[in-house]
Amino acid sequence: MVHIDRNVINFLTFKERARKDLLKCIDDCPGTKALVWDDYLIGPFSQLADYSVLQDHQVTRMFTLAKSEFPSNMDFTSMIFLVRAELKIVKRIAKFLSKAASVKKASLPKIYVCFVPAISSVCQKALIENLPAAAQLVHEFRACPVGAIPLETDVMSLEHENSFRGLFLEEDPSCLHHLTIAIKDIQKVHGVIPNIYGKGKYAKQLIDMVVKHGKDAPNSEWNIACRFDNLFIIDRTVDLITIMPTQLTYEGLIDECFGIHQATVRLPADKFPNMGTSSKNPDQSESGRKDAPEKKIILNSSDELFTEIRDLNFSAVGPVFSGKAKFLNAKLGERFSAKEVAEMKEFVAKMPHLLSLKQSLTTFMTVAELIKPFVNNDNFLESLEVQQGFLSGQDADKVHPYIEQLIAQCEPFDQVIRLIVLQSEVNGGLKQPVLAHYKRDIIHSYGFEEIVSLNNMEKAGLFRTANKKWFRMARDALKLFVEHSDSSASKDISYIFSGYAPLSVRLAKHLVFPGWRTISDLLEVIPGEKIEAKQKIPEHLRKRRNSISSSVSSAGEEPAVVSLVVYIGGVTYAEVSALRHLSNQEHTSSIFYVLTTEMLSGTALIKSLKETMKTTVF
């Protein structure tokens, strides 16, 4: 996260706003309530209000659409569906309510369908088409205006599941509308952002929507002094390269190995002594439990140690653990030397912090031990070597023997595809015979069922045939690959991937300084349209240098340039780490914040495009 002394904008303030919107949505429905959750919303909304808070607002029961059925015992006044406005969710609502159609209306609670973040007339119509009785069963369709969820002081996410697939494969623009609302909300609090830049087809659409909304909004809505200087919007397909290599930061590797969902990772409970219990949630109430007990670990800046290590390359984490352990031993040893009452009192005052640090150190060292078998595996190391080779320009234009080996051994599908996409992107696309060779081998090894998956990936832009070899030019101009990068040092963002500097982050950095004009020729060859736009701001609301409201970079220097980077289709934890690194550098002139459709990894992206075909037995 951005260091607190430079953290001029805190996205966590939006959490209280979102919490109020959620609770108002619940309170507007009369009497005791039963909540029926869209399963994917449970995680984000649990960060806003846990079960005890919901109980204070007359919530007595909770269900999930995927695992529950319409209850026979209806001891509540209102039933509230909290769901995303998606057609697949509408089908689940129809199935859930089908049993209610046979119940006498007088016995039914009032049923409210609350779409997040806005009412969808298309989904409303689709529900009635799927279940005609819904026209009489549903008392009212409403909006629950909870948009982007703050994950950190510097990161907000729509937590829009499979947003990449929805937009780039299915061409569903709903995430663009939700991003527009999120940007509007940010501008309401922090002022109009004067300079807008974009790269990519959907970036242009989003910019057009943002600018149009700004023109249509009443002047009173924007009567706030601006605190952001730039808005940079980028399509995920502009930089597919960064999402394909293995993330090598501590937090990034947790995501690669175990998956992080809504700033939480779940790990085997038997690996952690003194496992605590978590608050009740819909999964625990009336929708069943998982067999194996799990330890739920919250990953955010509320933990001092995690804040320090989350953005470090994994190889640099060990020395931090060692230093903290020595510090604890020294401090805890002070209890033996304390003889005077004042000294004892001082030690007792330190105890809560020391014990908290000890618990945190134990937890995150255990997580590191769980990661080690993955990173010490020969397959992992060889894959990493191939990735580094592609990024440095080696063996990128022909069939690679290591990828052939992985396919022949039927190694995880996502691992194979990530390497093929990386090879394709760094080479400006694959030659047709090379791509055909990979496809043929995949179908032979993994089965004809994967034909649909491969077609999805080609349609979404992951497989390209050779076109423009732009990456070599970008690698040299932007210094995207740094030979012999020191992973334990963090002088340059290339340490994030042990040599590779994320393209999207280099573009954001060059936007601030020295400016895109210096790389105008390069921007023409990098995939995706380049867009620039301005929003008019009254003179008295413009950001002034050396003013109290300006973002101070350091004493006696010009205020830092504050930029909001918007990722359409998802962002990796490694990219966020790189942007934080730029923000936290000494004497830097830049501070970056992130808004994204979802947190994403290469594996998650590939899995979202994969199809599971049901075979019919004759």
The mean per-residue pLDDT over the stretch 362-382 comes to 96
Give the lowest-confidence range in 7-16, 449-458, 553-562: 553-562
Could you count the other beta carbons within 10 Å of the beta carbon of residue 499? 21
Query: Can you give the pLDDT at residue 354?
Result: 86
Rounded Cα–Cα distance for residues 161 and 150 (Å): 16
Contact 197, 231 (CB under 8 A): yes
Nearest to 151 by CA among 26, 238, 255, 35: 255
Cα-to-chain-centroid distance, residue 280: 24
Query: Can you give the pLDDT at residue 481?
Result: 94
Which range is most confident: 504-508, 537-541, 555-559? 504-508
CATH fold of the domain at 259-375: Syntaxin Binding Protein 1; Chain A, domain 2 (3.90.830)
Residue 341 has pLDDT above 90, yes or no: no
Confidence grade of residue 554 (pLDDT, cut at 50, 70, 90): very low
- Upper half-sphere CA count for residue 34 (Cβ side, 13 Å): 24
Domain residue extents for the chain: 13-146, 151-242+492-604, 259-375, 378-467
Residue 611 has pLDDT above 50, yes or no: yes
**What are 112-155's pLDDT values in tens digits?**
999 998 888 999 999 999 999 999 999 999 999 998 999 999 99
What CATH architecture does domain 151-242+492-604 belong to?
A: 3-Layer(aba) Sandwich (3.40)
Residue 72 has pLDDT above 60, yes or no: yes
13-146 belongs to CATH 2.40.50.100 = no
Summarize the chain as % helix, strand, coil (round to 5): 50, 15, 35
What CATH architecture does domain 378-467 belong to?
A: Alpha Horseshoe (1.25)
Rounded Cα–Cα distance for residues 197 and 516 (Å): 10
Query: Can you give the pLDDT at residue 500?
Result: 95
Residue 244 has pLDDT above 90, yes or no: yes
Q: Do the two domains 13-146 and 259-375 of this chain adopt the same fold?
A: no
Confidence grade of residue 486 (pLDDT, cut at 50, 70, 90): low
The pTM of this model reads 0.90
Nearest to 416 by CA among 387, 375, 376: 387
Residues 6+ apart with CB under 8 A from 520: none
Percent of the chain whose predicted confidence (pLDDT) is above 70: 87
Query: Can you give the pLDDT at residue 614?
Result: 60
Query: Can you give the pLDDT at residue 171?
Result: 94
Contact 64, 21 (CB under 8 A): no
Give the lowest-confidence range in 174-178, 315-319, 390-394, 554-558: 554-558
Rounded Cα–Cα distance for residues 182 and 564 (Å): 12
Percent of the chain whose predicted confidence (pLDDT) is above 90: 70
C-alpha distances in Å from residue 115, one per residue of 22, 120, 498:
11, 7, 43
